[in-house]
């Protein structure tokens, strides 16, 4: 059936949503690669040694904290210029005893007077530290020996306000972990390109650094992963990506575990959105504004765009012809994701189903997270899968 000149709401909704999705997942990643080649903004790095306060966020981390502290004490950085603080938000296991056992080696324990959540605890601990540079990490991440030197070298450039390191993952053979690996192969080159010409729109909670002068407390329901780059952009500085600073983590092994984590991330993302939109007019870095709208905001709206596209495709499919293609594509994606979920439950590898499963998982999780956010959910507390 040929397409008529008059487009109804379903046709408009389908075309607009597919164009927006195409820009989000294909157009923007290609654009940033092009901009990184055409107008790179090199970072002036130097072998500097500012004082550093390394803050390790912890909540019931007795299984991993000892190894994390040993790893931290072995880092290649002058000990007289490195302050190590474990910020425990009222852990109820052996976390505090483990930290105290390292007191003679220069590790300090900070415990807020009441339960504040991860961001609230960070707000409280920073004023008790003294470093010119604040480095944030989790109890599970293992830094490579030169990570701190690689991070702080970027601060020789006065235009740099924050630096995010690279999170390397150990993946098992399961379909959920393989899906996350496929996602990393897609997003990491994009983040590197963004850093080369502009600014990062998020940092890793596992490994990132910020100038003390650029640090500002954040609302406790938000994550510093997104707030720090915004605050840095408002100060007229950049957030850059440092590939030589690595934190090793273990990827989530099950689709259900990935889904629950993504729901929490979604609630935090949608909680951040009003804060971001209010803060954008104060940004002195227009590139950050362009990048955060393209990389983050449109990505967070993708589940809604997919839902609109699916509804419109189903309405238009009975017309036949070209209108069958979007419905068929969505059906195949849903089928592949469903089979991937079954494979994940059975502990199978199913390499070909990994990417469709991960794509469907994060978008469904963000839909659920949006519903929770609109229902009043806010996440100031902690939740671990370990």
Q: What percent of the chain has pLDDT over 70?
A: 94
Question: In the chain, what are the domain boundaries?
Answer: 52-251
Cα–Cα distance, 25 to 20 (Å, whole number): 9
Of 186-200, 233-247, 366-380, the range with the lowest mean pLDDT is: 366-380
Residue 172 has pLDDT above 80, yes or no: no
Cα–Cα distance, 314 to 345 (Å, whole number): 29
**Residue 16 class from Cβ within 10 Å (0-12 exposed, 13-18 middle, 19+ buried)?**
middle
pLDDT tens-digit readout, 201-253: 999 999 999 999 999 999 998 999 999 999 999 999 999 999 999 998 876 65
Residue 386 has pLDDT above 80, yes or no: no
Looking at residue 6, what is its pLDDT? 41
Q: Do 337 and 359 form a contact (C-beta atoms < 8 A)?
A: yes
User: At the topology level of CATH, where does 52-251 sit?
Assistant: Spore Coat Polysaccharide Biosynthesis Protein SpsA; Chain A (3.90.550)
Closest among 269, 161, 268, 163 to 215, alpha carbons compared? 161
State phi, psi for 241 to the nearest 5 degrees: -105, 130
Confidence of residue 354 (pLDDT cuts 50, 70, 90): confident
Closest among 239, 146, 225 to 197, alpha carbons compared? 239
Average pLDDT of every residue of the chain:
89
∠ CA 98-104-107, rounded to 5°: 60
Q: Do 196 and 160 form a contact (C-beta atoms < 8 A)?
A: no
Q: Measured in whole angstroms, how far is the alpha carbon of residue 385 from the centre of its chain?
A: 17
Residue 254 has pLDDT above 80, yes or no: no
| Residue recorded with tokens 């909704």 | 13
56 - beta bridge partners? 86, 137
């Amino acid at each position: 059936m040929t397409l008529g000149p008059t487009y109804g709401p379903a046709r408009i909704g389908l075309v607009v949503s597919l164009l927006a999705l195409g820009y989000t997942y294909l157009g923007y990643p290609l654009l940033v690669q092009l901009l990184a080649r055409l107008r790179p903004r090199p970072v002036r790095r130097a072998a500097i040694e500012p004082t550093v306060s390394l803050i390790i966020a912890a909540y019931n981390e007795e299984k991993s904290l000892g190894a994390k502290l040993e790893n931290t004490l072995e880092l290649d950085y002058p000990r007289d210029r490195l302050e190590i603080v474990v910020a425990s938000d009222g852990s109820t296991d052996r976390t505090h005893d483990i930290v105290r056992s390292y007191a003679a080696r220069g590790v300090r324990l900070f415990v807020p007077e009441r339960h504040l959540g991860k961001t609230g605890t960070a707000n409280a601990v920073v004023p008790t530290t003294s470093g010119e540079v604040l480095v944030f990490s989790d109890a599970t991440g293992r830094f490579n020996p030169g990570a701190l030197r690689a991070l702080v070298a970027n601060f020789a450039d006065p235009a740099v306000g924050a630096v995010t390191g690279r999170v390397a993952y150990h993946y098992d053979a399961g379909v959920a972990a393989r899906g996350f690996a496929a996602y990393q192969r897609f997003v990491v080159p994009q983040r590197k390109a963004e850093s080369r010409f502009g600014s990062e729109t998020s940092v890793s909670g596992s490994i990132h650094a910020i100038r003390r002068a650029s640090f500002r407390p954040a609302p406790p329901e938000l994550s510093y992963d997104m707030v720090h780059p915004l605050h840095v952009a408002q100060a007229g500085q950049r957030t850059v990506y440092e590939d030589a600073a690595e934190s090793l983590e273990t990827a989530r092994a099950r689709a259900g575990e990935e889904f629950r984590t993504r729901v929490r991330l979604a609630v935090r993302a949608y909680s951040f959105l009003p804060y971001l939109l209010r803060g954008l007019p104060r940004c002195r870095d227009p590139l950050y504004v362009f990048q955060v709208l393209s990389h983050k905001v449109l990505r967070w709206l993708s589940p809604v765009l997919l839902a609109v596209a699916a509804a419109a495709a189903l309405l238009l499919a009975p017309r036949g012809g070209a209108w069958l293609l979007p419905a068929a594509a969505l059906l195949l994606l849903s089928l592949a994701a469903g089979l991937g979920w079954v494979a994940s439950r059975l502990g199978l590898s199913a390499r070909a189903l990994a990417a469709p499963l991960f794509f469907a998982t994060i978008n469904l999780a963000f839909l659920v997270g949006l519903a929770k956010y609109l229902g009043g959910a806010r996440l100031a507390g902690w939740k671990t899968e370990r």
